[in-house]
Amino acid sequence: MTPFTINASSVRLPEDARAALENHRDVQVVAHRRPRYVLVNADDYALISPLLDRVRRGAPVPIEDLLDDDDFALIAELEAEDDGLLFGALEAQPQDDAGP
C-alpha cells in the first residue's frame, strides 16, 4: 500500500520530535490524553510496511517476521537446555525405597 504523502512544509514538527525521529525513535502524537498518531522514521517504516500491508489485507503474519535476532538467540538457548529431554518433558527419576 502506498502511503498518503504530504509536503514537509505542511507539517509543524517540534525540533525535539525531529531529533527523535532522526535517532530512530517513534514519536507519539497525543490529543486529549489519548494517542492519535505515531510518527516513524522513514527507514524504519520501510522495514515494517510489508507487515502492515499483510495485516491490513487480513493475511496472517509469519512468526519468523515478528522475531528478531535476540528472539532467535533465546530460542536457541532454550533448545540447548532441552537437549536430552524427551519432547521437552523430564524423564522420571528412580525413587529410593529407603524413605526419608
- Confidence (pTM): 0.59
For the segment 87-95, the average pLDDT, to the nearest whole number, is: 59
**Domain segments of the chain: what residues?**
12-83
Of the chain, the percentage scoring pLDDT greater than 90 comes to 45
Angle at 27 between CA 51 and CA 32, to 5 degrees: 110
Q: What is the pLDDT of residue 62?
A: 82
Determine contact, residues 61/55, Cβ cutoff 8 Å.
yes
Handedness of CA 30, 31, 37, 39 (dihedral sign): negative
pLDDT by residue (tens digit) across 43-83? 999 988 988 898 899 998 888 778 888 988 898 888 887 77
